[in-house]
Amino acid sequence: MSSEPKQSHQTFPKKDTAVRINGSIPFSDLDLSRWKEYDDLLTGSLWLLGARDKSGPHVGDYWGNFVPQIPNQIMRRFTRRGEIVVDLFSGMGTTLIECCRLGRHGIGVELLDGVAERSRARIAEAENVHGVTTEVLVGDSTRAETIERVRAALGRLGADHADCVLLHPPYHDIIKFSDDPRDLSAAPDVPSFLAKFRAVAENAHHLLRPSRFMALVIGDTYSKAEWVPLGFECMRVCREAGFQLKAINVKDIQGNERAKGKRENLWKYRALKQGFYIFKHEYVMVFRKVE
């Protein structure tokens, strides 16, 4: 095992060392006696992650994929090797690929069967030197029966709760993933979107182990010439579901957005003409289940 914890993927002190030294961090493998060495771990609220990590099976060819650096940061800060991470919008499997790399078991839920099948193939290509288990379930994360299937998957891993939950829902209708009425991106309006998201947030709260962490990756939208603060509306929903807000991190999306590069001058012209600002960020909000 490497002794250089400032590298990103497999760079942690042995678990027994972490338990002996940093009992004050029961949710992390980090060794506080070496805290200065974790150069690439973010502790500030401005996240400048650069270009999307495209190593291994990570391929940025799916609309709405979030950058792998986000689950990498969250899992290294808030989980230990051998623990279980649940992603209720698993998409093309970004979180579960990082689970394989970092030695965390992963359970994903994806609404669309074709996307789930493609993600399983990519996850199977991921480096998995720790021999962890991953499972992608096809289902609707708003539904109780899907959450029961997640609980069954947890049971197969010998657990009754997840140690960390990630949520990366559609940003309402910015990208329409399908015409399926269960799809949050197909919600007819923001109140309908938030009602569906509320069900997911409440399910996440039930699944998460008390005192552990959930991360929400979300952005805002425009509608009828008005900025819609979707991120803060989703934050409110999570707080009402029982989560304690720990951080609102602002992540730079420049270089990671699609279909904008050659149109940047056009967007700048429109912004100046119409009196708006161009989206250059999204949020990585961190919550804790306090009960």
Summarised one tens digit per residue, pLDDT across range 265-288 is 888 888 899 899 988 999 999 999
Q: Are 112 and 176 in contact (CB under 8 A)?
A: no
Q: Are 178 and 165 in contact (CB under 8 A)?
A: no
> Where are the domains positioned within the chain?
42-289
Least confident range of 47-61, 92-106, 223-237, 263-277? 47-61
How sure is the predictor about 255, in pLDDT bands with cuts at 50, 70 and 90? Answer: low
Residues 61-82: what's their mean pLDDT? Answer: 87
Residues 146-172: what's their mean pLDDT? Answer: 97
What pTM, to 2 d.p., does this model score?
0.86
Least confident range of 9-23, 131-145, 249-263? 9-23
Please give the pLDDT value at position 117.
96
Query: How many beta carbons lie within 10 A of that of residue 14, not counting itself?
Result: 12
Of the candidates 40, 36, 31, 29, the one whose C-alpha atom is nearest the C-alpha of residue 76 is: 29
How sure is the predictor about 263, in pLDDT bands with cuts at 50, 70 and 90? Answer: low
Where on the phi/psi map is residue 42: left (φ > 0), alpha (ψ -120 to 50), or beta? beta
What is the per-residue pLDDT across 164-212, written as a single tens digit (0 to 9) for each? 999 999 988 887 888 888 889 899 999 999 999 999 999 999 999 999 9
Helix (H) or strand (E) holding 271: helix 264-274
How sure is the predictor about 62, in pLDDT bands with cuts at 50, 70 and 90? Answer: low
C-alpha dist (Å) from residue 59 to 36, 93, 138, 189:
32, 10, 21, 31
Please give the pLDDT value at position 171.
86
Query: How many beta carbons lie within 10 A of that of residue 43, not counting itself?
Result: 8
* Side chain identity, residue 216: L
What dihedral do alpha carbons 135, 139, 143, 147 form, nearest 10°?
-10
What is the per-residue pLDDT across 14-34, written as a single tens digit (0 to 9) for each? 333 334 444 458 999 999 989
How sure is the predictor about 63, in pLDDT bands with cuts at 50, 70 and 90? Answer: low
CA–CA separation, 169 vs 197, rounded Å?
8
Share of the chain above pLDDT 70, in %: 86
How sure is the predictor about 130, in pLDDT bands with cuts at 50, 70 and 90? Answer: very high
Examine the pLDDT at 61 and tell me if it is beyond 90: no
CA–CA separation, 75 vs 282, rounded Å?
19
Range 163-191 burial, b when 16+ CB lie within 10 A, else e: bbbbbbbbbbbeeebeeeeebbbbbeebe
Examine the pLDDT at 2 and tell me if it is beyond 90: no
Examine the pLDDT at 262 and tell me if it is beyond 90: no
CA–CA separation, 54 vs 63, rounded Å?
15
Of the candidates 50, 93, 51, 54, the one whose C-alpha atom is nearest the C-alpha of residue 71 is: 93
- At 180 the three-state DSSP class reads coil
Least confident range of 71-80, 153-162, 182-191, 254-263? 254-263
Q: Are 5 and 41 in contact (CB under 8 A)?
A: no
- At 85 the three-state DSSP class reads strand
What dihedral do alpha carbons 56, 61, 66, 67 form, nearest 10°?
40
Strand extents, DSSP E, the chain = 46-47, 84-87, 105-110, 134-138, 162-167, 208-218, 221-223, 226-228, 243-252, 281-289
Is 42-289 in CATH node 3.30.70.20? no
- Which one has a higher pLDDT value, 216 or 181? 216
Please give the pLDDT value at position 6.
38
Strand extents, DSSP E, 139-187 = 162-167
